[in-house]
Structure 1
């Protein structure tokens, strides 16, 4: 396949490095120093220029390109690049964006922006950072449908409140589906009478609040952090605060810019926003860090400051510290230095794009860490075996080991049951046994 990558930064070069052995890669960037280096570092064709311009795209032979991946640092440039490419050629387009508003618009409106697949850098970061605070006891945690749907895998301890219960008895959570049980290397697709045993891992898909509730019920005695401090009112910090509010928490957020702090205070109903300078040496002394369960350092594009803020909080008594880093090479360094979790948005974004290139029919892919199964998000078209049929009928035309975990329609979440009819255009989040992924995608 011929793949054109717009943007030769960290994301673009990582994607190219993963794909250049199996695909013909063309890279476009306005920085001629970058394009000159590409000729030596990777097996790609480098084209200097503005990827959103018709002239540059034609110079890169867009007419004979199968896929365009727009992953520059600018959301607007990426969207314009995709729209321009669509006007010139029949090409599959992928756009990296940071602002969640673009994901919400794309998720709710068909054929908008000329984008076939959208990757939300900040959304991926928010999910990873929230998981890093210990908010979930899940072994796996991934987000789908613009953050409205989560997938999580939980280990069942002997003292779990659902150990020994049937799925029918345990299934008491709104907007949630128990899609699988992993037991001694075997994947079990449960029925209502399947009994959950200690030592099992259960996989659930549903609304984020319900996934959080089931995690609390599964692991009694483990208290989620309640006193959470967010350092930095960047868009990532804001989105983390929103996620925490959705879970019934009341976090504290520190922002040095008074105007930004005022804006965030108006937008966040349950978050205490204060104007303080995180770089002030007296800042943490006044925060009673021994009472803080978790700190997330999410200052705007400043890995060094995030590292220092997280380490200072940890040393002053915070139980857990999470730092957002803008360079993937820093992740292990931060964690070696004492940060509990370092989250790199660019690494996560590149991985998401690579997954899509390898499985183009899907909108999102999450691989369980034991490689037994995948959870995929896919848009249902008119030729899908699930289209215009109750799930209990359509599921018989799919391989064994497939469960519909959630459905989103026009931005709203539906909890799928046997009589749920899936419409063309709906997005379905589906649990699939790894052995039948390709066959399942082809039928969907």
Structure 2
């Protein structure tokens, strides 16, 4: 049961519709009609905080209730209300990190079994992407031992025209797939890399970073100068995450009171009070010399404008928050390096709880065209004790074993590798065959 059919709720519903019985509760009749028309779900108009509405939607049959409205308080009330009549697993989406901190200190508070803070998961995604040169998407698995990175290949890249076998010089990295002109290609050694390809690789952070630099038209130095534009909740958390990794970012905020508050909250951040659309100010503060500029203003239009201003001034990489999912590709097409959608980041965090078996992490790629899963093998796993070559022969097309983590050590997957209980297996899967693959692990 999903309450709220905005970007987050709709994304989750679309991901689950083919494999789960999904009920969505939404107050907006237009969204209800749209869901019933476009997805194989039951969309019900009503208030998810109303116990009678929940009962009419058969909450007694729900294995999970996901509260995904745009209101933190509403999502907490929904979770608490659900718990009054059932012991179903509840997930609440919130925006304020303070609520997450409170919940973490008193696990199970508010009747919430799992809480996702949109601003925090977005900030962490921004940091991951910023830390890998030329990356368009980055996710970590096995506590950071493994990275999945999606890289865009420019026309002048040294790997253009090479086969995957020629480009693959790394023992601890696996080429998984290429997205080309809307098509997903699971690569072989003979696949030729073309300009414009988005390559998905899985491996150790050092190997992934080395390949990112090798495939780039110019090598990026280590990130030093980070500028966050906009003191929104996402901007606040982004500066905090960079601080936690040893950086001393600069943050630009127009509102005086908000700037003062942020200056008190962020001890390692220099907070500057100014309008980020003031080109003279940006030039005077050398924003064009920044390694990364993250734009977190209150609208997509302003985020796009200021990102392009920063690029024009010379900033090496720009990362912009995009609130409208359909704008992501547009942002990147007109010159923004990376567009990050907070709602998709939140949906991705929630979806892993709906997977069968022991799925530890889920990363969705190219608007859920494919997924990368981390699965922990236990004694009931069908693949435990089997060789990788034999397992792969039973899998459908569109699947790549990207990496194996065993007792804190990264293993490069090879044909003779034998899966063991306790292994964490990182798997690239075409979304079309996802439902056939997960039960096999």
TM range (shorter): 0.5 to 0.7
Aligned counterpart, 1:253: 251
Structure 1: unaligned runs, 5 residues or longer: 172-176, 189-193
Q: Matched residues in 2 for 1:9 and 1:240: separation?
A: 24
State the Cα distance separating 1:63 from its structure 2 match: 0.6
Map 1:210-289 onto structure 2 (within 5 A): 211-216=208-213, 219=216, 221-224=218-221, 226-241=224-239, 251-255=249-253, 257-265=259-267, 268=268, 272-279=269-276, 281=278, 283-289=281-287
The residue aligned with 1:64 is 61
Instruction: Give the match's secondary structure for 2:270.
Output: strand
**Given the alignment, which residue of 108, 122, 127 partners 1:125?**
122
Q: Distance in 1 between matches of 2:314 and 2:167?
A: 42
Distance change in 2, residues 1:81/1:314 (3 Å): same
**What do the CA deviations read for 1:343-365 (whole angstroms, capped 9, x no partner)?**
321245456667876x5554544
CA RMSD of aligned residues (A): 5.4
C-alpha displacement of 1:152 = 1.5
Q: Is 1:205–1:406's contact at 8 Å kept on the other side of the alignment?
A: no
Correspondent of 2:322 among 311, 321, 325: 325
Instruction: Give the drift of 1:273.
Output: 2.0
Q: Secondary structure at the match of 1:415?
A: strand
Quickly say closer, same or farther: Cα 1:317–1:372, change in 2 above 3 A. closer
Change (3 A) 1:26 1:374: closer
Check the 8 A contact 1:294/1:318 in 2, yes or no: yes
From 307, 310, 334, the counterpart of 2:307: 310
Provide, for residues 52-109 of structure 1, a one-character-per-residue CA deviation record: whole Å limited to 9, x for no partner.
Answer: xx555334320123542221234565466446546744646544344679889999x9
Matches of 1:242 and 1:408, distance apart in 2: 32
Q: List alignment gaps of at least 5 residues for structure 2.
A: 37-42
- TM-score (structure 1 length as normaliser): 0.66
* 1:302-325 deviation digits (Å, cap 9, x = unpaired): 545534533443444435433213
1:429 corresponds in structure 2 to 426
Match of residue 191 from structure 1: none
Indicate which of 2, 16, 41 corresponds to 1:5.
2
Among residues 434, 438, 442, which one is paired with 2:439 in the alignment? 442
1:12 is paired with a residue of what secondary structure? helix
**Is the CA contact (8 Å cut-off) linking 1:276 and 1:283 kept in structure 2?**
no
Partner of 1:174: none
How many residue pairs end up in the alignment?
Answer: 409
Question: Is the alpha carbon distance of 1:125 and 1:208 closer, same or farther for their aligned partners in structure 2, counting shifts above 3 Å?
Answer: farther
Q: Which residue of 2 aligns with 1:157?
A: 158
